[in-house]
Amino acid sequence: MFDTASATTSIPSVFLARAEGCGDPTPYLRPGETVLTLGAGAGKLCFRASQAVGPTGWVIGIEPSDDLLAIARRHAREVARRLGYANVEFRKASLRDLRLDREWLDRLLHEHPVGSAADLVGLQAAISASCRVLPLVSDESVDAVVSNCVPHLVEPMDMRRLAGEILRVLTPGGRAIITEIPRDEVLVEGDPERIAHREEVFRQRLAEAGFQDVTVLERPEAGRRSLPGIELRSVTVAAYKRRRLGREQQHDAAVLGASGSA
């Protein structure tokens, strides 16, 4: 397992005083993997992941904020210098839509402002074509997706879409490693700690999206937080994408299915 304590020596000191979010999924990454980080922020989790996967791996940080992207990209050069290799890139996208390259969209809108209904129709067609032909993150292109205290920032109605996007970009047999703060009690909508999904609901939604073997990897006591009358505790969950069956396995499954229905 990757030693996260040793990773801090290569991370710029400005990050060391920053909050850790609610945990750290990087110990569960493997050398040589391609990893997608949701909610990259200023880059700290990506820089940890870059060391976990090593020089033969690759890390893609997804972040919707221009300001945070600028900070992350600036520090990426320093991290690469310290490590002796560069294996991190940052891309601008919504967490709910990993197909649409929002930097491309910004450029398109700057060059071709929308001033009429016809312009809007043309823009929608261009977006649809871009997502179909040149998606920002392609189908089945990453081995692991990681996030640290990000899903609770997504509206409940969008959770299934987020899970579906994670599933889409993972290779067969790939996994999501998500550190989150489910809650023991349902919080009132609009609470500052809003949408911190209960653990069972969180795991259920991953399963409903099509993941297999949704399991808890870690539930540290140190991750506990409290609000009046409510206990919040971090949990690290792994959820796997179904492996694609080979021809022999497909044949066996068909035979078993036929015999079971006889």
Average pLDDT over residues 200-219: 82
pLDDT at 12 over 60: no
Q: What percent of the chain has pLDDT over 70?
A: 70
Identity of residue 209: A
Most confidently modeled of 13-17, 96-100, 192-196, 230-234? Answer: 96-100
Model confidence at 256, pLDDT cuts 50, 70, 90, reads very low
- CATH 3.40.50.150 assigned to domain 4-99+138-240? The reply is yes
Considering only 12-26, 65-79, 234-248, which range has the smallest mean pLDDT?
12-26
pLDDT band, residue 257 (cuts 50/70/90)? very low
Mean pLDDT of the region 214-233: 67
Among the listed ranges 74-78, 87-91, 151-155, 199-203, which one has the minimum average pLDDT value? 151-155
Strand partners, 236: 179, 218
Point out the least confidently predicted range of 60-69, 171-180, 221-230.
Answer: 221-230
Residue 194 has a pLDDT of: 45
The letter for the amino acid at 81 is R
Going from N- to C-terminal start, the domains of the chain cover 4-99+138-240, 101-134
* 224 in Cβ contact with 232 (< 8 Å): yes
> In which band, very low, low, confident or very high, does the pLDDT at 149 lie, cut at 50, 70 and 90?
confident
Lookup result for tokens 């919504």: 94
Q: Which helix (H) or strand (E) holds 80?
A: helix 66-83
Band of residue 148 on the pLDDT scale cut at 50, 70, 90: confident
Residue 24 clears pLDDT 80, i.e. is over it:
yes
Phi, psi of 111 (to 5 degrees): -80, -30
pLDDT-based confidence at residue 158 (cuts at 50, 70, 90): confident
Residues forming beta bridges with residue 159, ordered by sequence position: none
Q: What is the pLDDT of residues 70-107, one digit of tens each?
A: 999 999 999 999 999 999 999 999 988 999 999 999 99
